[in-house]
Amino acid sequence: MFKLIKFLLNLFALLIVFFPWLSWKIEATLWGSSRVYLFWAQTWAVVPGIVGNFLRRAYYWLVFPHVSWQCEIGFGSFFSHPWAIIEKNVYIGPYCILGKVILGEGSLISSRVSIPSGKRQHLRSPEGHLLPAQEEFFQVVTIGKYVWIGEGAIVMADIGNFSTIAAGSVVVQKVPAKCLVAGNPARIIKRLK
């Protein structure tokens, strides 16, 4: 009975987000832009409670290549680009901002975590001025299976399976599997068994 109720709620959420998704698809097709995508991603981010989780999951299910119906996306969290993969049993806490990312099965992302699309979001001109973000420099950050990322961490590089990222860490180099890292920049504290 529980599975049937969840299925019906997911279906209802899909119906609600269908026309917002369609408005983004039209914009992306005609103008190659993602402003409408971002408007709706931020709108669904601030819908509270279980209703918000159903709506966020449904919207991203329509937008992204793969989103498991068995994931949670917390209040205030959104993806800044219309591309990600979210595997089953992923938990994303409140107020996270994620770029192009692959979230492996069972990953736990604490609140206020940022995972931008790599380290090269903005370049400088020869005169030293910051340039607008350029899509061709974005990278997909891969978070392995059963990774735990602590509160307020910033992750700009891949993380291996079963690793733990301490709260407040800034990850700028690839983290091997089964490691505990901490600090700014994050360093391996110990190898996990």
69 closest CA partner among 9, 147, 148: 9
Domain total in the chain: 2
Its domain, for residue 46, covers 1-62
In this structure, the answer to whether residues 87 and 143 fall within a common structural domain is yes
Burial of 26 (0-12, 13-18, 19+ CB in 10 A): exposed
Please tell me whether the overall predicted TM-score, pTM, comes out greater than 0.85 for this model. Answer: yes
pLDDT, position 105: 98
Q: How do residues 2-39 score in pLDDT, each as one tens digit?
A: 889 999 999 999 999 999 999 999 999 999 888 999 99
SS3 of residue 68 by DSSP? coil
Phi first, then psi, for residue 153 (nearest 5°) are -75, 155
In this structure, the answer to whether residues 43 and 73 fall within a common structural domain is no
Q: Which regions of the chain are under pLDDT 50? A: none
pLDDT, position 111: 98
In this structure, the answer to whether residues 27 and 68 fall within a common structural domain is no
pLDDT, position 120: 79
* Separation of alpha carbons 128 and 60, rounded Å: 37
In this structure, the answer to whether residues 72 and 92 fall within a common structural domain is yes
pLDDT, position 157: 97
In this structure, the answer to whether residues 19 and 102 fall within a common structural domain is no
SS3 of residue 54 by DSSP? helix
